[in-house]
Chain A
Amino acid sequence: EPEVTQTPSHQVTQMGQEVILRCVPISNHLYFYWYRQILGQKVEFLVSFYNNEISEKSEIFDDQFSVERPDGSNFTLKIRSTKLEDSAMYFCASMWWGRTGSSTDTQYFGPGTRLTVL
C-alpha cells in the first residue's frame, strides 16, 4: 500500500540553525500538509499546499517557515532560524482531492520527524 515517508526520523539542531524536513507524499496525491505536535499538546496545522503554491497557512507559519515541492516528488518544510519552541514532532500528510466538490477524501500521514532544538 502506498505510504507517506519522512526523513530524517529525528533531527537535532542548534538554536538559530536552518533545518529542512523532507517528505515524499503518495504519488498521485494533490494536496500536501505540514502539521506539528509539541509534546503534550494537540496536533497543529501549519500549512497546506496545492498546485505548487500555499493554499492556506496558520498563524504559526511565519516568515521563518517555508515549503517547497522542488522536484515533483519531495515536499519540504524549511525553518530558517530555529528557536527552542520549534522543538516538536513534524508530520507531513497528503490527500488526493482529485474531484471537484468531493469531501470524502482523507489525509495520509507520514511517521513524523522529531525536531529537537538545543
Chain B
Amino acid sequence: ILNVEQSPQSLHVQEGDSTNFTCSFPSSNFYALHWYRWETAKSPEALFVMTLNGDEKKKGRISATLNTKEGYSYLYIKGSQPEDSATYLCAFGNFNKFYFGSGTKLNVKP
C-alpha cells in the first residue's frame, strides 16, 4: 500500500486570506496526481489532474503545482471565500488504482 499524506489536516482562515496545502506521495513510478474538492454530502469534484513534473494548473482562484522528483504537490487558494470551505483530497495513482490522502478540511470564516 502506497502512502499519500496531506497536511495540514484542517485549516481555519478568514475570508480574503490566501492559503495552501500539501500532498506528499512516493516519488518513484509516478503516473498522475489528482486533486478533488469535496463538500459535505456531495460527490468529490475533480479540480486538477497533474501528470508532468513542474506542472502548474489554475482554475479561477485555485492553482496547483507538482514536483514528481521530490514527491509533493501544492494546492493554493488565493483570496479564500466562504464557498471554498470543503475538504480537499489528493489521489496518486494510474488509471487502474488510486491512493487517497486523508484530505485537508478548509473552513473559511466570513
A residues adjacent to B (C-beta < 8 A): 3-4, 31, 33, 35, 41-45, 48, 55-56, 58-59, 91, 95, 97, 103-112
- For the complex, what is the distance from the CA of A35 to the CA of B31, rounded to whole Å? 19
Can you offer 15 A-B residue contacts whose CB atoms are under 8 A? A33-B98, A35-B100, A44-B100, A48-B95, A59-B1, A91-B43, A103-B31, A103-B49, A103-B51, A103-B94, A103-B95, A105-B95, A106-B46, A107-B46, A109-B36
Residue A109 contacts which of B44, B49, B93 (CB distance < 8 angstroms)?
B44
Count the B residues whose beta carbon is within 8 Å of the partner chain — how many?
26
Q: In the complex, which residue of chain A has the Cβ closest to the Cβ of B46?
A: A106
Quick one: given A97-B95, A106-B34, are A112 and B49 in contact (CB under 8 Å)? no
Quick one: given A31-B95, A48-B96, A103-B95, are A43 and B32 in contact (CB under 8 Å)? no
Contact between A103 and B32 (Cβ–Cβ < 8 Å)?
A: yes
Q: In the complex, which residue of chain B has the Cβ closest to the Cβ of A3?
A: B43
Contact between B49 and A105 (Cβ–Cβ < 8 Å)?
A: yes
Contact between A45 and B46 (Cβ–Cβ < 8 Å)?
A: no
Quick one: given A42-B102, A111-B43, are A106 and B49 in contact (CB under 8 Å)? yes
Residues of A within 8 A of B1 (CB): 59
Q: In the complex, which residue of chain A has the Cβ closest to the Cβ of B52?
A: A103
